[in-house]
Amino acid sequence: MKFRGKIIDVACLNHFTRKSHICSKTLTKTCVLRLTPDNLFFILSEKVANGGVSMWCELAQANFFDEYQMEGVTQEDNEICLEVAPENLARALKTLQNAKALKVKLTKKHCPCLTIPTLSTVSRVVMHDVPVDVIPRKLWHEFKEPHMPNFDVSIYLPPLKTLKNVVDRMKNLSNFLVLEANMSGEMNLKIETDLVSVTTHFKDLGNPPWGEDGSQRDSDAMAQARLDVRRLQQFLMGQQVNPTKALCNLVHQRLVHLILLHEDVSLQYFIPTVA
Query: Residue 248 and residue 176: Cα distance in Å, rounded?
Result: 18
Supply angle C-alpha 235, 158, 156, rounded to 5.
90
92 touches another protein by CB under 8 A: yes
How far is residue 155's CA from residue 167's CA, in Å, rounded to a whole number? Answer: 18
Checking phi first, is residue 230 left (phi over 0); if not, alpha (psi -120 to 50) or beta? Answer: alpha
- 92 sits in the region (left: phi over 0; alpha: psi -120 to 50; else beta) called alpha
Contacting another protein within 143-182 (CB under 8 A): 158-159, 161-162, 165-166, 168-170, 172-173
Site for another protein in 3-32 (CB under 8 A): 4
Residue 93 sits at the vertex; the CA angle it makes with 88 and 94, to the nearest 5 degrees, is 95
Site membership for another protein, residue 133 (CB under 8 A)? yes
Decide if residue 237 touches another protein (CB under 8 A).
no
Based on the shown chain and the rule CB under 8 A, indicate whether residue 242 belongs to the binding site for another protein: no
Which residue type does 90 have? A
Q: Decide: is 91 part of the binding site for another protein (CB under 8 A).
A: yes
Q: How far is the CB of 189 from another protein (least distance, A)?
A: 9
43 contributes a contact to another protein by CB under 8 A: no
- Which residues lie near another protein (CB under 8 A)? 1-2, 4, 67, 69, 73-74, 83, 85, 88, 91-92, 95, 101, 103, 105-113, 117, 119-120, 122, 124-131, 133-139, 158-159, 161-162, 165-166, 168-170, 172-173, 194-204
